[in-house]
Amino acid sequence: MELPEMESMASAIGLSVPVLRFLLCFAATIPVSFLHRFVPGGPAARHLYAAVTGAVLSYVSFGFSSNLHFVVPMLSGYASMVLSRKYCGIITFFAAFGYLIGCHVYYMSGDAWKEGGIDATGALMVITLKIISCVINYNDGLLKEEGLREAQKKNRLPQLPSLLEYCGYCLCCGSHFAGPVYEMKDYLEWTKRKGNWQPTKMGLSPSRYWATFRALLQAAICMGLYLYLVPHFPLSRFTEPVYQEYPIWKRLGYQYMSGFTARWKYYFIWSISEASIIISGLGFSGWTDSNPPKPRWDRAKNVDILGVELAKSSVQLPLVWNIQVSTWLRHYVYERLIQNGKKPGFFQLLATQTVSAVWHGLYPGYIIFFVQSATMIAGSRVLYRWQQASQTALLKKLLVLSNFAYTLLVLNYSSVGFLVLSFHETLAAYGSVYYIGTILPIVLILLGKIIKPARPARFKARKDE
C-alpha cells in the first residue's frame, strides 16, 4: 500500500500512520501464526519460519532499527549462556533491563503513545522478559531438582537451545508485539509436537477455531466500547478548570471512568494477541476433566475482563490482569527473593512492583502507580485477614463489600498516574481527591499491625492435631 493511501486511511479512522501500520501488522500475526502448522521440513523449518516472520513484521511495523534493538539483548543473552552458564541469569537480568531502560529514556515512548505515536519499545519489553526467563531457566538447569519450586522444575533447561531455536522463540510469528510471554520449554515442545501437543491415543486434537473466533469477537466489542467511551472521558480533563469545579464524588467518578475507559484498549490488544496464540496452537494448555473433555487455552490468556472489573480484592488483580507478565514477575522476581524457610513480606511485594514499574518505563506516573499498587495489595490483605477471622456472617459480608469497594476506589485512583505519566499531573489528580487512594491503604496497613485478628478455629484445630 502506497503512503498516500495509508495516510488517507489513517486520517479517516482517526489514527496516526505509525499506529495504523502497527495495527495492520499486529492483525497479520493471526494468519501468520495460523500458517505455522503447515510449514514443511520439521522443527528446524518451523523455527526459521517463526523467526523470519517475526522479524519481517517488526520491520514493516517499526522499521529496520527495531530489529537492531532486538538483536542487542538477544545476542548478549545467548552469549551469556554460552560463556558463563553459572552466572548467566544474573548477568542477563541486569544487562537486558539496562538496555531496555536506555531505550525507554532515549525514545521516551510514553509521550509518543500519549500523542498517538508508537515505537518498538513495547515489543522490546516483551522480548526482554522472554530472554531473561530463557537464560534463567538454562541457569536453573545446573541445579538439582531437590529444593526447586514447581515452576523451576517445569521450566528448567538442561541443554543449551540452538541459536535458531532461540531466535524463533524470541520473535515467534510476531508474538513479541504484545505478548503473551511464554516459556522456552513450552515453545520447544510445541514446535517439536511433544508434551501437550503430542497426539494422544484417543486422537484428540483441539479445535482452535471457536476459541479464536471468541477472542476476535471479544476484541471487536472491546474496541467498540473504547472508541465510544474515550471522547467522553479524555485524560486532558484532569488539567482543565472544569474538573476542579466538580464535587469530590464526581472527581472520583471521573477517575473511575478514565481508568475504566483506558482498560478497554488493553483488553482489545490482549484479545488480538490471544487469538494469534490460540490459532497457532501454542496457547493450548491441556484438557479439562469434564466429559467430554474440553481444550484449555490458559497459555494464551492475558486478561480476565470480569475478573478485573469485579475483583473482590486487590490481591486478585495480578491473577486476572496482564496474567502472563504477572506470572513472570512471580516466578523470576517475587519467589526468588524469598529466603528459604521464610514467608514473603512487603519487601518482596514492593521489589516486584518496582521491577514492573521500571519495565514499563522511568516515568514518574509508572513508578508512583506500582508503588501505590504494592500498598493497595497490602491494605487489601489486611481486610481479607479480618474477613477470614470474622465470627458473624453479617460482618463477613460487610468486609467482603468493603474490600470490593476499596479495590475499585484505589485501583482507579492509582491508575491515573499510569495514564497521565507526568509527576505534576499525577499529584494534581491525586490531590484533587485529597490523596484518599494513598492514605487509605497506609491506614489499613497500620491498623493491621494493631488489630490482629484471632486465628480461625479450623486452623487452631489443625495445629492442635
pLDDT digits (tens, 9 = 90+) for 403-452: 999 999 999 999 999 999 999 999 999 999 999 999 999 999 999 999 88
DSSP reduced 3-state for 295: strand
Q: Is the pLDDT of residue 307 over 70?
A: yes
Q: What percent of the chain has pLDDT over 90?
A: 72
Q: Is the pLDDT of residue 118 over 70?
A: yes
Q: At what angle do helices 42-62 and 184-192 cross, to 10 degrees?
A: 120
Among residues 122, 82, 155, which one has the least CA distance to residue 331?
155
Q: Residue 11: what pLDDT?
A: 72
- Give the DSSP per-residue string, 347-370: HHHHHHHHHHHHHH-S-HHHHHHH
CA 140, CA 85: separation in Å to the nearest integer? 9
Among residues 273, 284, 291, 275, which one has the least CA distance to residue 205?
284
Q: Is the pLDDT of residue 148 over 70?
A: yes
Query: Confidence band (pLDDT; 50, 70, 90) for 17?
Result: confident
pLDDT digits (tens, 9 = 90+) for 3-14: 567 777 777 777
Active-site residue set: 360
More confident residue, 44 or 290: 44
Question: Residue 4: is the preceding peptide bond cis (ω within 30°)?
Answer: no
> Are 112 and 208 spatial neighbours (Cβ–Cβ below 8 Å)?
no
* Among 110-124, 205-219, 287-301, the range of highest mean pLDDT: 205-219
Strand segments (E) across 147-205 = none
Q: Hey, what's the cell of 201?
A: 491415543
Output DSSP code: residue 321. Answer: B
Interacting residues of 181 by C-beta distance below 8 A, sequence separation 6+: 126, 129, 130, 133, 324, 325, 327, 328
Q: Is the pLDDT of residue 311 over 60?
A: yes
Q: Is the pLDDT of residue 228 over 50?
A: yes
Overall pTM surpassing 0.85 (yes/no): yes
To the nearest whole number, what is the mean pLDDT of the chain?
Answer: 90
Q: Is the pLDDT of residue 115 over 80?
A: no
Q: Residue 65: what pLDDT?
A: 82
Beta bridge mates, 295: 287
Q: Is the pLDDT of residue 199 over 80?
A: no
pLDDT digits (tens, 9 = 90+) for 233-265: 999 899 999 999 999 999 999 999 999 999 999
